[in-house]
Amino acid sequence: MDGKMSNFKTLKITVYQTIILVLIAVISGVGFNQFSPNGLKLITPFRRLSIGEQHLKIPIFLSRKLFKPQSLDSMPHQPRELQLNETYAHFQNRSALFIDARTSAEYKAGHIPQAVSLPLESFDYQTPPLVDFPVNQMIITYCEGVSCSESIDLAVHLNEIGFNNVFIYIGGWEEWQPAGYPVKEGDQP
């Protein structure tokens, strides 16, 4: 009986100590965040974006210092959705810059000719891409297909750094390739 009591007491103490450890972590984290130059807002600010049927919340990953309330305003010239036929028309007319938001390996395995590879994970606000292009350059982003979100995220990022004529080809590679339109392999556009 004594052994059981002592086990129960030990378990109770362990649980209390675990809760205290979590509390210490929460207090230290929030405290450090308040004073850190890279500190974040506690609740992630986000912007709403509607692409076709999808209603998205796009988080804004900026430190408290860089974040301005106007970043929350709806995006001017927010990215819009393109269908296969419209995308192909722009491809034929060479009227847009195609951007493949998938990984380099996926791009290499096959992509839309003319498309430049810009994997989403390589996007960096400190060294923004496409600086040689005018802000009204028409840009079409795509990724694997309707279930991927890299094209949407990349379009939002490009919009955030100033591009105001950005489109998302939602059907992506999974729709383009079976449609029998031109494709290209390798790491060149």
Partner 1 sequence: MNKAKIFSAIAIVIRLCLGFLFLYSALDKILYPARFAEVIYNYRLLPVELLNICAIIVPWIEITIGVTLLLGVWVTSSALLLSGLTVVFIGLLLSAIGRGLNIECGCFSLDSEGSLVSWKRIFEDVLILIGGIYLIWHQIKKPARLES
Residues in contact with partner 1 by CB under 8 A are: 3, 6-7, 9-10, 13-15, 17-18, 20-22, 24-26, 28-30, 32-33, 36, 38-44, 46, 57-59, 61-63, 103, 121-122, 149
CB of 174 to partner 1, least distance (A): 13
Nearer to partner 1 by C-beta: 81 or 150? 150
**Spatial contact of 101 and 166, defined as CB atoms under 8 Å apart:** no
Strand partners, 184: 111
Helices (H) and strands (E) in the chain, counts: 5, 7
User: Which residue is associated with the tokens 């430190």?
Assistant: 63
CB of 39 to partner 1, least distance (A): 7
Nearer to partner 1 by C-beta: 28 or 188? 28
Enter the tokens of residue 36: 């850190």
Nearer to partner 1 by C-beta: 21 or 179? 21
Q: CA distances (Å), 18 to each of 4, 6, 15, 23, in order? A: 21, 18, 5, 9
CB of 167 to partner 1, least distance (A): 23
Strand, coil or helix: what is 87? Answer: helix
C-alpha span between 152 and 146 (Å, rounded): 10
Nearer to partner 1 by C-beta: 86 or 174? 174
CB of 99 to partner 1, least distance (A): 17
